[in-house]
Amino acid sequence: MNIDLTNPPAGELSPATDPDRIVQEIVAQIDSLESAVRAHLETWLAFLVLHSTKADVIEIDSGYDVSSYATHTVRPFDLAEFNTVKDFFEEATGDTCATYVSGHGLRAERIGDAFRDESRSAIAGILREKLATAGYAPWQQDSEDELMETIEEGLFEAGWPDDWEWRDLYEPMSLQRIVQRRRAAADAIAARNEKERLASAAEAERRHKISLAVHSRFLVAVGGRTEKFLRSEANELLQVLRALAGSLGENGSDDVAIYVRSREFAPIVSKNVCNDAKKAFAAPCP
């Protein structure tokens, strides 16, 4: 349920990298930051209830340990079943996590748990966007981490909620009203995800067809050989692949690069030879 909803609030920071100045300016925008986080979290909730499915929870008592596990289903959520966000928080996400509690090794993760994680992620994402607009170099990782801690301290002193408080704030709210406010944004994310899924599936199919075609010509080139190519034969194999790439035209090298990463190629070479072929033919861009 990792959903990219980062939407930094309007208004840019000054193009400065002075930590004190950046902290002051971010804290001064606490109201717009709160609006951005609320929009993120509410869209996240709307997306889950509208476009994800329920999970079942199974409890297992082994005599010395009582654990619960979650399993995904294809059953959609029924918005009418949830009066408040707290009701929805009790639903399982489908993931299972460790409890670190003796006698209760594992438990099914609840949406309320994921909400806390999402609140932390949303805040960090929006703050890092703010740092970027301030001209703070993203490669200054150590300094950025320290700055993030300073910003969070400043926000806390200004009354900014922590992850538990965000959860407490939302528990009594009407889930139906939140969905009404954020349905359009949630639907847009679902449409984008579906578009990306279809594009990914189409690309996978294209690569598979290329692999099959190259594999057929490869088998002809090696005389129908079925025995694995071993490390001692790596140079011979690479010569065959290079010749094959040259015979396939302008995109020959890309086609062979796809082939040496395919399930058709892997069974006929040793692991070392497979790695050599991958190094010889760099992965093509999608």
Phi then psi for residue 156, to 5 deg, are -60, -45
Q: Tell me what the pLDDT averaged over the chain comes to.
A: 86
CB-based burial label for 172 (10 Å; 0-12, 13-18, 19+): exposed
> What is the predicted pLDDT for the residue at 66?
74
pLDDT value at position 7?
A: 47
Q: Which amino acid, one-letter code, is at 45? A: L
Which residues have a Cβ under 8 Å from the Cβ of 183 and sit 6 or more positions away?
A: 46, 50
Q: Check: CB of residue 13 under 8 Å from CB of residue 142.
A: no
The radius of gyration of the chain from alpha carbons, rounded to an integer in Å, stands at 26
Identify whether the C-beta of residue 48 lies closer than 8 Å to the C-beta of residue 1.
Answer: yes
- The residue ranking higher by pLDDT, 4 or 66, is 66
The dihedral over CA atoms of 119, 125, 128, 129, expressed in degrees to the nearest 10, equals -130
Q: Is the CA virtual torsion 13, 18, 21, 26 positive or negative? A: positive
**Maximum C-alpha span of the chain:** 75
Please give the pLDDT value at position 282. 87
Rounded percentage of the chain residues whose pLDDT exceeds 90? 57
Enter the pTM of the model: 0.78
Report the pLDDT value the prediction gives residue 5, as an integer from 0 to 100. Answer: 44
State residue 2's pLDDT score.
Answer: 45
Question: For residue range 94-119, what is the model confidence (pLDDT) as tens digits?
Answer: 988 777 777 667 888 899 999 999 99
pLDDT higher at 112 or 59: 112
| Confidence tier at 22 by pLDDT (50, 70, 90) | confident
Please report, rounded to a whole number, the percentage of residues in the chain having pLDDT higher than 70.
87
Q: What is the pLDDT of residue 27?
A: 80
